[in-house]
Amino acid sequence: MKRLSRLLALLVLIVGCFAWTGHQNVLAANVNVMQYGVISPILATEAPRKNRVDEKMATVRNKLDLNNSDLRDFRQYKGMFPNLGSLIIKNAPYDSVEDVLKISGLTEKQKEILQQNLGNFTVTPPESVFIEGDQRLNVGAYD
- Over 10-32, what HEC string results? HHHHHHHHHHHHCCCCCCCCEEE
Specify the CATH number of the domain 52-137: 1.10.150.320
Q: Give CA–CA dist 16/47, Å, rounded.
A: 35
> What are 42-97's pLDDT values in tens digits?
555 555 666 666 666 666 678 899 998 888 889 999 999 989 999 999 999 999 99
pTM over 0.85: no
Q: Give CA–CA dist 65/97, Å, rounded.
A: 9
Provide the pLDDT confidence category of residue 13 given band limits of 50, 70 and 90. Answer: confident
Q: Give CA–CA dist 85/77, Å, rounded.
A: 10
For residue 93, which of 127, 63, 59, 137 has the smallest C-alpha distance? 127
pLDDT at 14: 79
| Domain residue extents for the chain | 52-137
Vertex 97: Cα angle to 92 and 99 (nearest 5) = 60
